[in-house]
Each structure stands twice: as C-alpha cells, then as structure tokens.
Amino acid sequence: MRILFLGDIVGEPGRKSVIKFLSTIQKEHSIDFTIVNGENSAGGRGITPSIANDLFKAGADVITTGDHVWDQRDLADHLSNEKRILRPINYPEGVPGSGLISIDTPAGKLAVLNAQGRTFMGQALENPFLILEDTVNALIKDGTKMIFLDFHAETTSEKIAMGYHLDGKASVIVGTHTHVQTADERILPNGTAHITDAGMCGPETSILGRNVESIIYRFKSSLPTRFPVAKGPVRLCGVIAEIDPETGKAKSIERYNRLLEPGEM
Amino acid sequence: MRILFLGDIVGEPGRKSVIKFLSTIQKEHSIDFTIVNGENSAGGRGITPSIANDLFKAGADVITTGDHVWDQRDLADHLSNEKRILRPINYPEGVPGSGLISIDTPAGKLAVLNAQGRTFMGQALENPFLILEDTVNALIKDGTKMIFLDFHAETTSEKIAMGYHLDGKASVIVGTHTHVQTADERILPNGTAHITDAGMCGPETSILGRNVESIIYRFKSSLPTRFPVAKGPVRLCGVIAEIDPETGKAKSIERYNRLLEPGEM
Amino acid sequence: MRILFLGDIVGEPGRKSVIKFLSTIQKEHSIDFTIVNGENSAGGRGITPSIANDLFKAGADVITTGDHVWDQRDLADHLSNEKRILRPINYPEGVPGSGLISIDTPAGKLAVLNAQGRTFMGQALENPFLILEDTVNALIKDGTKMIFLDFHAETTSEKIAMGYHLDGKASVIVGTHTHVQTADERILPNGTAHITDAGMCGPETSILGRNVESIIYRFKSSLPTRFPVAKGPVRLCGVIAEIDPETGKAKSIERYNRLLEPGEM
Amino acid sequence: MRILFLGDIVGEPGRKSVIKFLSTIQKEHSIDFTIVNGENSAGGRGITPSIANDLFKAGADVITTGDHVWDQRDLADHLSNEKRILRPINYPEGVPGSGLISIDTPAGKLAVLNAQGRTFMGQALENPFLILEDTVNALIKDGTKMIFLDFHAETTSEKIAMGYHLDGKASVIVGTHTHVQTADERILPNGTAHITDAGMCGPETSILGRNVESIIYRFKSSLPTRFPVAKGPVRLCGVIAEIDPETGKAKSIERYNRLLEPGEM
Ligand SMILES: [Fe+2]
Ligand SMILES: [Fe+2]
Ligand SMILES: [Fe+2]
Ligand SMILES: [Fe+2]
Ligand SMILES: [Fe+2]
Ligand SMILES: [Fe+2]
Ligand SMILES: [Fe+2]
Ligand SMILES: [Fe+2]
C-alpha cells in the first residue's frame, strides 16, 4: 500500500498546484492512497467545503487539518456530512467532526488519524499521547493493521516523541504545522515510518507561504499587519510511504519535494 | 572559502564523535573554516571551558551557543578570555561575552555572528532583526564581506524571516535549536545561503539527543523527570557552505548528515 | 461553616508565621475548617512531608498545592499515605495523589478540590473545566453540599471563568498562584463565593516572596540567577468564607490580609 | 497633586459610565489630573480617535493603552497629532506615537509614561526595565519630579519588579491588563506608590468585561467564538494617588472601586 501525503496546502497557489499535479504524481509514484493537509488552503486560513471538494475531485482521499481547522465559518457544519475531512482528534467530546476515519481499501482497512500537539499551540487540547495510544490500541484490537497519523505540532520534541510512542503500532506518522520539510525521514526501530515535518505545498519565495516583506515588517516593528499569501513558483512537499498490508509495518518512507517550474504552472 | 558548520553537539556521545571525526570531515570536504554549536555539549546542558578547549583542539575555529549558554556556571567568566565562544548577540549591554567575532583568514575577513530568536524561547532578549541589521551593515561598511550567522530560534517563521531579512548582506545563515535538520537548504534570491535548521550532532535513537522513554513519560504524565542524554550510534548534522570571498555571496550550501556506524565510534 | 483559606505559603518566613499565628486566627474568626496552599512552603519550591506535618499540627485541615507540587522529590510517595495533601485534580490517571478529599464535619460533608489552570502554566494538564464539572456534579449527586475549590491558575480570565462555570454548584472558589491578593471577592449570582486570587503568606518586601534584587537582575539582564526567599516582615493573605451547610451556598466571603509587625514574629 | 487613574475601560458600558461619572469623581476626590487606560474602549478592542475625544471632553487628561493599542486601524495615524494618547514606550524606533508625555501643571512638570511587559504578552517588545530606567533617569536629570507610569503587563512578578526597579524615581506606578484590581496598593520603601493592577471599568457580571457564556464555551471546548462585551451594571476601578510636587514622592495611594447602581447609569 503506497501512500502519498502532501503537507499543509497554502492558499490559491498551493491548492491550484496540488489540483493540477496530483494525478500525475499519483501515476508517477504508483500511489494507492492520498492524504493532504488542507488547513491553510483557503487564503492561508482554514479550508472551505468547496475547496475540500476540489481537492477530493483532484484525487485526495482524506484531508487532514490542524490549528487552522475552524478558520472558515462554514466548515464546522460541513464536517458532520463529510467524514473524509478530519480535525484533530484530541478535542473534547461534543466538538463537530472527527479525528479518525477508517477506510476499506483493496489491501485492507486503513485508519487515518489527525491529532494536534500541545506545546506552543494556540488551543489547549487534551493529551494526544493518551488519546492516540488508546485509539491506536483499539484499532489494532479491532483488526486494523494500516494506521496513518498526521500529527500537527510545533516542536520537534513532541513530534519525535509521538513517533517513538506509537512505534510498532502506527504504520506511518508524519508531522505537520511548521511548513518546512525536515530531512529526518526514517523507519523507527519497531517499524513505524516517521518524519518530523512533511513541509508545505506553497510559494517558494515566502515565509511559510506568506509574503516575505509583511512578515519581516512584523518581526522588525512588532506592529500588526496583514500577511497575504505569497506569489510565484510553488514547491510541493510531502512524503511517500509504503506499508506492508499484512503486518501494518512501514516498508519505506521517502520525502517528496518538487519545485514546480514557472512553465509548469 | 568553504565553511563547515555542525549543529548542536549533544552530550558525551555528540562531542566525542565530533572530536574523533572532525579532522577527517575537514579533509574530505576541503574545509577552510569550522564552526560548531556547542550549547548542549556538557551533558546536554551548556558547555564547559574544558569541553570548548577539546573542540578547538579537534579543529573547531568558533563555537556558537544559544539558550543553554549559561547552563554551566563557569562559562560566563571564561567568555571574557575566550573570544572564540559566542553567546547570542541580542542580550543587553553588560552581559558577559560577545555575539560577534571577526577573524582574519587567508581569504579575507570573516565575521561569525550568533543570535537568538524570541518566539517561544525561554529568555526575553532584544530584537534580533534590528540588532543584526545594524551589526551586519556596520561590518559591511567596514569592509567585511564574509559573514556567517548561527540564528538559534524555535520557529521556522522567525528563522526563514531572518534569512530574507539579511539576504544579500550575510553570506550564510544557519538555523539551530530544534535539533532536526531541515531539507530546505538553498541560496536566497540575493545570494545568502540559508537552512532553517542544521540539525544536531547526537544519538540517533533519541528525542533531540535525550533518552526516549523519559521524554515520552513526561508527555504522557506531565510529571517532572530527568532527561538523560541517550546512548547508541551518533548522527552528525550540519551544513557545508562555500562563500565567494570577493563578493561575500554564497556559491553553494549542502546539508551534511552522516550516521556513524557502531564500528566507527 | 466558617472556612479559613490561606494562600501560597512561601518559604521559612511564610510557614513559620502561619504555624505561629494559625490558632490565633482560627479563634479570632471562629474558624471551623482551615485550608492552606503549601506549594511554596519548602524554600519556595514545593512542600516536604515534614513541613506538611508541621502545618497540620498547627491547625491546617487540608493542604492544597499547584504547579510546584512535585518540586520536592519525596512528596509523590507521601501523597499515597497522606490524603490531606492535594495535588491538582486534572493530571492524567495513574499520577500519584488526588485532587479531591471528602471530609465529614459536624456540619456535614465538605469536599475540598484542587485544580490547575492551563493558560501560561508550565505543565500541560487536562481540561479543568470538564473535569471539575463532572466531579462537582458527582459530588452533588452523592449528597455533598459544601464544596471548596482552590483553582491554581495564572490568568484572571481562566480563574473568573471557573467561578461562573461552577457558580451555584461549588460553595467557595479561591484562585491562587499569582501570589497577589485581588480586591474582587464576591458572591456570584448563583451563590458561589469567589476571589480571583487569595494572595500569599510570605515576606512583604519581596517579589512573590522572592528576593527583590535577584528578580530585577533577571528582568534587566535576562541572565539566570538564584531567587532566594526574601527576608523581613511577613504578610498573611487569604479569605474567610462562610457556607450555609443546608444549601451549600456561600453566605459571605471576606479577604484576610494582615501584615505581621516585626515584634509579633 | 492628586491623580486619578482609571483602569482599562471596556466597551460601550465602560466608556459611557466613565464619561458620565468622571467629573463627579474628580470633584468628590479633589482630583488635579486624570489618566485613563483606553485600550479596550472600542468594543473591547482598541480605541478610536472619536472615543478618545469623548474621553478627553469628559475630563481625561491623558489616555494610556497597551497590547490592544493597534486594534482600531485609524489610531496609528491619529497618534502623531494627538500626543495625549500614549502607546507602550518599548516599541522600536519608527513606530507611530509615543510612550511619554510631559505636561506643565500648576504644581510643576508631570511626566506620564506607558510601557508594556514581556512575559506572556502577545507582542515581543524591547526590554521595559532598561528603557524605563533610562527614560526616568533622563526625566529626573531634566528636573521632572512627578512621574506616573502605567505598566501594562500580565504577570504579577513583572509588575511588582517594575515597582521596586523604579522605586524612589517614579512617583506612581500602576499595573494594568489583567482587568482585576489587586488589593496590594502601597508606598514602596523609597517613596513610589504602587499597585499590581488597577482593575477595569466595565460590566460587573463578566469575564474581564466580556460575556460570561462565550468565555466559558471557549474554555470548555477550545473552539473559537466571538467574545461580545457583556451587559449590565458597571464597576469603575482605579486608584487615587497623591504626589508631593516638591519631592516627587507619593504621599498616598488608595484604590478606587465603585459599582454603579442600575439607577445611576
Ligand atoms: Fe499549516
Ligand atoms: Fe498549523
Ligand atoms: Fe540545542
Ligand atoms: Fe537551544
Ligand atoms: Fe505559588
Ligand atoms: Fe503556583
Ligand atoms: Fe485591557
Ligand atoms: Fe491589555
């Protein structure tokens, strides 16, 4: 089972590029299942039902999110109908949406999870280490072998700790949120593929997808300002991981990282 | 001018490996100048004068630090004699040590800078964007062309923003502190080589160099515990950058990333 | 039922003063039950079993704590024997100690609760609003009418929100942790007595009980330093609240605030 | 010289009450000079030029602000014409407005300062301890004796530390930002009047002036929501301090704290 994951899609440049290139990438890399993080796909802030539909049409199977999940007002209602969009699982009971979807694939059941870290994150959510341990144990008990987690968190320590915490239980754990791909993809000792951050899909000349000058202005002056999505060539970042459907262990994980040429866009 | 930079050296495993392999790396890669971040070299917390001397003897030319600079009591005094150890430049006046050293090399003057970010960092320091802009402008006015900065910061946004902020003025800017190498090394539009984080030199099976179980225990229970430096094979991470001494622009930047085999250590 | 609560006892000056004056205060104010926050009673950091025993002997019925609860190593073990020392209730399961004690008094059952806020607090604990709501509802269902909560939190918003959240269910809610008594004691619309912070029992000429110069040095230089407990006259701060045992509603809440004269100590 | 200071004015209820009652309070308490913190006077977020004018007409002499100073777009421009509105002094050079105004009064020069703390505050500003020390020393050297500071900060430690830091140099230091009046008003050993927080002018049944239910909803669910300004009776909080114009020392400081009856509003 070959899974493509694309990191945080930022604004129109990011989502147009993903929509245009996704089927090609899937073919080139014999992808069986595609997960994308869409938390910044609507002008950098959240995702709308309509953008989500465009991403599904383009070939995404599941969309994960993160701290920006509620930025667009109409998403919360949409989550009750559209189970393929996940929000972090570690919200309290009663919150719209779900952080888990279980999908029957030709290779067997695949569970996709989305959770959010707590260190330096805007929202105070419940303990993801405890909730994910319980959830993953229940999935395994239930016979699910292939488990994919997008762990949306700020610090490298929380993201690497989650990798070891679920090592041998989850098949693949990718970090998101920092928008910069890390060079530490590896299979952990007990068989879980891990990368600290998958990176983003957004404008190359930018600061996390945002206009460079506005962010520098902010750091220099501490004054508020708007942070428009940047323009120009887009880089697509993510990972391609292969899971052994018999064991649920990862067979490989590779970084996906491609700067689209201006002519391609 | 080819510069080797090695990221945060963690504990005995990290420093022993650096000391053992540094001269080989320098030869293999025709290194002219070597900078290492030593802020975690003493049991994970700070650096002692004696460890610093060992690193200098092994071939380091300058040692940078970060938020852990004061963890070892006797370092503050040592900084007034040993100008080759830098502490972040954006402390207020009167604080021991310096964040800048200017060195005459056969290829001309090379300034090495060390600064610390402010977002999610333990200490509240002065604005690094303003201080570095002034400092770099003064260095350039003074005729210095080659300028290297270790910007020790938590968030990708602050570290990338600093890259663009000094793009065309500094020759090389490496981020440190998150202990995970990023895969975004590049030369920015105006000629500054940049990577968001150089990564660490420390045990591979670890969380930022620390013992895995202790960190997981902390995240699960929120209880305090000791975080010993981990054991086992060491990975050395950093970058190799080449500066054109005539212009001060970067000609190249490559990630250095090598897992030492048990037999090598 | 008249309850005396004394806020965070800081160091030797704080605990010696409390031990010396507690029985007098109890008599002067016809106190039926005494609760003290002891999280800083051991040199400013945590509490030892022996200090706790001294406070019990002096007349405390229950000791609450907060983020400093684990600062002294031997306390965690002691908690399993000494149920009268509470730690914040919103730790995950399996953590030593309890955040609730239920005591039979001549006026009926009195439940004492201790919880910790999440905004700007060192530890990432579970949601105190959800846990306390469940706990208090269960206590009430069980027939407990008198419920006292020490909510240890940094921000005024979290502490006031907890007051309204449990208004009419808890009898008395006192905030602690900021070490400065607030002037907003009142009975909320549904009958819960509330104060945002009870203040501390510690040296008057101090910064939260600590030596003035060392704290100013830290703010000026951002350098680490020791923060010894200050010396000199002690101020005792807390509240006296009266609960109607029939209804569990608060009849009154008054600030207790007394600067001990040098001659008295 | 008798100074009235009113803490953060929240929304329409707060500003209408201040405007209606200010002249009465001034007469009742023989006030010579009035300073109000207006950072929340426009719907809870910032202040508009028109609201500022209303407050000046009602009798305010100077308006201080804080972290919400830039919430209303048109204020930044207005600051260059209206020197009586202060923004925190510890912004970098080049930022609109000023954190200091020096006013000739019949009793001599009075300098009013506004600064912002750094611990747990949204913006990363420059070191207020260093900037205020320099500014106050310069004012004193220049012959100014009466110096008033509104120090807008989150933590009690930073606010009390500032009191001792400028003790004997500033005449009066009031803390603001937490919206809850503290009960620790006092004259520090060298003659500076100090209170950790002056409190707010806003709706009594509220959480920092905001609607109770919306804030509780946020703490329970971690979901975003709007936080409208609350309704109902208003409490006015602040301090009245008297400065000896000959020495610049404080002669007294008293809390001002008055709940307006429904009939009064
Ligand atoms: Fe994102
Ligand atoms: Fe995010
Ligand atoms: Fe480090
Ligand atoms: Fe660091
Ligand atoms: Fe405390
Ligand atoms: Fe505390
Ligand atoms: Fe405010
Ligand atoms: Fe504020």
- How many Cβ atoms from other residues are within 10 Å of residue C172's Cβ? 26
Q: Is the dihedral of CA B131, B137, B143, B148 positive or negative?
A: positive
pLDDT tens for residues C70-93?
999 999 999 999 999 999 999 999
Q: What is the pLDDT of residue D7?
A: 98
DSSP 8-state assignment for residue C260: P
Ligand number, closest to the Cα atom of D66: 8
CA distance C223 to D162: 17
Residues C110/C241, Cβ–Cβ less than 8 Å: no
Query: What is the band of A6 on the pLDDT scale with cuts at 50, 70, 90?
Result: very high
Interface of chain A against chain D, CB under 8 Å? 70, 76, 91-92, 94-95, 123-125, 220-224
The encoded tokens of residue B250 equal 């970067």
Which residues pair with residue C238 across a beta bridge? C6, C256
Q: Is the pLDDT of residue B262 over 90?
A: no
pLDDT tens for residues A220-252?
999 999 999 999 999 999 999 999 999 999 999
The mean pLDDT of A8-26, rounded to a whole number, is 98
Query: What is the band of A178 on the pLDDT scale with cuts at 50, 70, 90?
Result: very high
CB pair distance less than 8 Å for A222 and D94: no
Residues C160/C174, Cβ–Cβ less than 8 Å: no
- How many Cβ atoms from other residues are within 10 Å of residue B76's Cβ? 16
CA distance C204 to D40: 32
Q: What is the pLDDT of residue D261?
A: 83
CA distance B112 to A173: 38
Name the residue among B229, B247, B189 with its Cα closest to residue B16: B229
Q: Which of C165, C166, C184, C208 to mutate to test the interface with D (most CBs of D within 10 A)?
A: C184
Contacts of residue B239, Cβ cutoff 8 Å, sequence gap at least 6: B4, B5, B172, B174, B185, B193, B195, B198, B253, B254, B255, B256
Name the residue among C8, C119, C19 with its Cα closest to residue C66: C8
In chain B, pLDDT over 90 holds for what percent of residues? 98
Q: Is the dihedral of CA A258, A260, A261, B2 positive or negative?
A: negative
Name the residue among C39, C93, C104 with its Cα closest to residue C70: C39
pLDDT tens for residues A63-97?
999 999 999 999 999 999 999 999 999 999 999 99
CB pair distance less than 8 Å for A124 and C119: yes
**Exposure string over D51-68, b if 16+ CB within 10 A, otherwise e:** bbebbbebbbbbbbbbbb
Q: What is the pLDDT of residue C239?
A: 98
pLDDT tens for residues D155-196?
999 999 999 999 999 999 999 999 999 999 999 999 999 999
In chain C, pLDDT over 70 holds for what percent of residues? 100
- How many Cβ atoms from other residues are within 10 Å of residue D16's Cβ? 15
pLDDT tens for residues A180-192?
999 999 999 999 9
Contacts of residue B28, Cβ cutoff 8 Å, sequence gap at least 6: none
Q: Which residues of C are annotated as a binding site for Fe cation?
A: 8, 39-40, 67, 152, 177, 179
Rounded to a whole number, what is the largest CA-CA distance in chain B?
Answer: 56
Q: Which of A192, A219, A223 to mutate to test the interface with B (most CBs of B within 10 A)?
A: A219
Q: Which residues of D are annotated as a binding site?
A: 8, 39-40, 67, 152, 177, 179
Contacts of residue A172, Cβ cutoff 8 Å, sequence gap at least 6: A3, A5, A147, A148, A149, A192, A193, A194, A239, A241, A243, A250, A253
pLDDT tens for residues B17-44?
999 999 999 999 999 999 999 999 999 9
Main-chain dihedrals φ then ψ at residue D125, nearest 5 degrees:
-100, 175
pTM score of the predicted model: 0.98
Residues D232/D15, Cβ–Cβ less than 8 Å: no
Residues within 5 Å of ion ligand 2, judged at the Cβ atom:
A 66-67, 177
Mean pLDDT score of chain D: 97
Q: What is the pLDDT of residue D263?
A: 76
Q: Which residues of B are annotated as a binding site for Fe cation?
A: 8, 39-40, 67, 152, 177, 179
**CA A234 to centroid of ligand 2, rounded, Å:** 19
Q: Is the pLDDT of residue A262 over 90?
A: no
CA distance C185 to C188: 9
Complex confidence, ipTM = 0.97
- How many Cβ atoms from other residues are within 10 Å of residue C130's Cβ? 18
**CA A26 to centroid of ligand 5, rounded, Å:** 56
Name the residue among D174, D216, D166 with its Cα closest to residue D199: D174
Q: What is the pLDDT of residue D252?
A: 98
Residues B230/B40, Cβ–Cβ less than 8 Å: no
B68 flagged as catalytic: yes
Residue appearing with tokens 């914040």: C88
CA distance to B265, D93, D255, per residue, from B91 (Å): 38, 18, 38
CB pair distance less than 8 Å for B91 and C123: no
CA distance to C178, C211, C226, C235, per residue, from C232 (Å): 20, 10, 18, 10
Mean pLDDT score of chain C: 97
In chain B, pLDDT over 70 holds for what percent of residues? 100
**Element containing residue A51 per DSSP (H, E):** helix A49-58
Query: What is the band of D113 on the pLDDT scale with cuts at 50, 70, 90?
Result: very high
CA distance to A113, A217, B111, B133, C91, per residue, from B145 (Å): 50, 26, 8, 15, 55
Ligand number, closest to the Cα atom of D7: 7
Residues within 5 Å of ion ligand 6, judged at the Cβ atom:
C 66-67, 177
The subunits that touch chain C, with at least 3 C-beta pairs less than 8 Å apart, are A, B, D
Q: Is the pLDDT of residue B152 over 80?
A: yes
**CA A178 to centroid of ligand 1, rounded, Å:** 7
Q: Is the pLDDT of residue D262 over 80?
A: no
The H helix count followed by the E strand count for chain C is: 6, 12
CA distance A180 to A160: 15
CA distance A47 to A68: 8
Residues D197/D213, Cβ–Cβ less than 8 Å: no
The mean pLDDT of B111-124, rounded to a whole number, is 97
Q: What is the pLDDT of residue A245?
A: 98
CA distance to A112, C74, C83, C84, C101, per residue, from C80 (Å): 40, 11, 7, 10, 12
pLDDT tens for residues A33-66?
999 999 999 999 999 999 999 999 999 999 999 9
Q: Which of C93, C125, C155, C162 to mutate to test the interface with A (most CBs of A within 10 A)?
A: C125
Catalytic residue numbers of D, as ranges: 68
Contacts of residue C179, Cβ cutoff 8 Å, sequence gap at least 6: C7, C8, C10, C197, C199, C200, C202, C208, C209, D156
Number of domains present in the structure of chain A? 1
The subunits that touch chain A, with at least 3 C-beta pairs less than 8 Å apart, are B, C, D
Q: Is the pLDDT of residue C191 over 80?
A: yes
Which is it for strands B186-187 and C33-37: parallel, antiparallel or unpaired? unpaired
Q: Which residues of B are annotated as a binding site?
A: 8, 39-40, 67, 152, 177, 179
**CA C66 to centroid of ligand 6, rounded, Å:** 5
Mean pLDDT score of chain B: 97
Q: What is the pLDDT of residue C186?
A: 98
The mean pLDDT of C186-197, rounded to a whole number, is 98
**Minimum distance, in Å, between the CA of residue C49 and any CA atom of chain A:** 30
Which is it for strands C33-37 and C2-6: parallel, antiparallel or unpaired? parallel
CA distance B66 to B198: 14
The mean pLDDT of B190-203, rounded to a whole number, is 98
Of B76, B124, B224, the CB nearest to C222: B124
Q: What is the pLDDT of residue C261?
A: 83
Residues within 5 Å of ion ligand 4, judged at the Cβ atom:
B 66-67, 177
Residues B46/B71, Cβ–Cβ less than 8 Å: yes
**CA D179 to centroid of ligand 7, rounded, Å:** 6
pLDDT tens for residues D140-160?
999 999 999 999 999 999 999
Strand order across the beta sheet in which B146-152 lies? B100-105, B108-116, B146-152, B172-176, B193-195, B186-187
Q: Is the pLDDT of residue A264 over 90?
A: no
The mean pLDDT of A11-28, rounded to a whole number, is 98
Instruction: Give chain A's length.
Output: 265
**Minimum distance, in Å, between the CA of residue D125 and any CA atom of chain B:** 8
* Nearest residue in chain C measured CA to CA from A117: C124
Query: What is the band of C157 on the pLDDT scale with cuts at 50, 70, 90?
Result: very high
Side-chain-facing half-sphere of B170: CA atoms under 13 Å? 28
CA distance B75 to B63: 13
The encoded tokens of residue C157 equal 């918003």
Q: What is the pLDDT of residue B40?
A: 98
Q: What is the pLDDT of residue A150?
A: 99
The subunits that touch chain B, with at least 3 C-beta pairs less than 8 Å apart, are A, C, D
CA distance A158 to A176: 12
3-state secondary structure of D195: strand
* Nearest residue in chain C measured CA to CA from A124: C118
Q: Is the pLDDT of residue C265 over 80?
A: no
CA distance A112 to A134: 15
**CA B187 to centroid of ligand 1, rounded, Å:** 24
Of B119, B124, B127, the CB nearest to D92: B127
pLDDT tens for residues D1-52?
999 999 999 999 999 999 999 999 999 999 999 999 999 999 999 999 999 9
**Domain range for D45:** 2-264
**CA C68 to centroid of ligand 6, rounded, Å:** 6
Q: What is the pLDDT of residue D259?
A: 98
The mean pLDDT of D87-96, rounded to a whole number, is 97
The encoded tokens of residue C221 equal 């230089």
Query: What is the band of B50 on the pLDDT scale with cuts at 50, 70, 90?
Result: very high
pLDDT tens for residues D13-25?
999 999 999 999 9
Assign residue D75 the CATH number of its domain: 3.60.21.10
CB pair distance less than 8 Å for C92 and B221: yes
Ligand number, closest to the Cα atom of A114: 2
The mean pLDDT of B203-232, rounded to a whole number, is 97
Residues A123/A87, Cβ–Cβ less than 8 Å: no
Ligand number, closest to the Cα atom of A200: 1
Name the residue among C47, C70, C21 with its Cα closest to residue C259: C21
Q: What is the pLDDT of residue D64?
A: 99
- Residues of chain D in contact with residue A221, where contact means CB-CB under 8 angstroms, are 91-92, 94-95
**Exposure string over B23-45, b if 16+ CB within 10 A, otherwise e:** eebbeeeebbbbbbbbbbbbebb
